[in-house]
Amino acid sequence: MSAIKKERVEFRATHEAKLSIEEAAAMSGKTVSSFVHDLVIEKARELINERKRLLVRESQWGSLMAALDNPSKPTALMDEIIKLSTEEENWTVTMSSAM
């Protein structure tokens, strides 16, 4: 069962952009509203998931893994952060050599 759509989002576009959107929507068998909605939601979710990743330099990867393997006793602040982080969706840690 899908949620009732009550909120409205508006944006301005050039005439050419509007024509392209209408053509693409028609080609996909969707209304313009449904077409734009689906694409925007997909992109928003991708961006949110991407930003929830922690990028770590390759040179720091070993130190991070050692800290994770041998954690120190959490402080009160750390306990609060852990509590907050478990209330949200999972985060992903990604190694990157391009930083």
Let me know whether 47 and 78 are in one domain. Answer: no
Together in a domain, 60 and 96? yes
Beta bridge partners of 57: 96
Number of domains in the chain: 2
User: Averaged over 33-59, what is the pLDDT?
Assistant: 91
**pLDDT score at 74:** 85
What would the pLDDT profile of 6-23 be if each residue is shown by its tens digit?
A: 899 999 999 999 999 999
Residues 38 and 76 in one domain: no
The Cα–Cα gap between 80 and 73 comes to: 13
pTM: 0.53
Rounded to an integer, what distance in angstroms lies between the CA atom of residue 61 and that of residue 94?
10
Note whether 32 and 45 are same-domain residues.
Answer: yes
Q: Which domain holds residue 28?
A: 11-51
Is there a domain that residue 81 lies in?
Answer: yes
Confidence of residue 69 (pLDDT cuts 50, 70, 90): very high
**Do 47 and 73 share a domain, yes or no?**
no
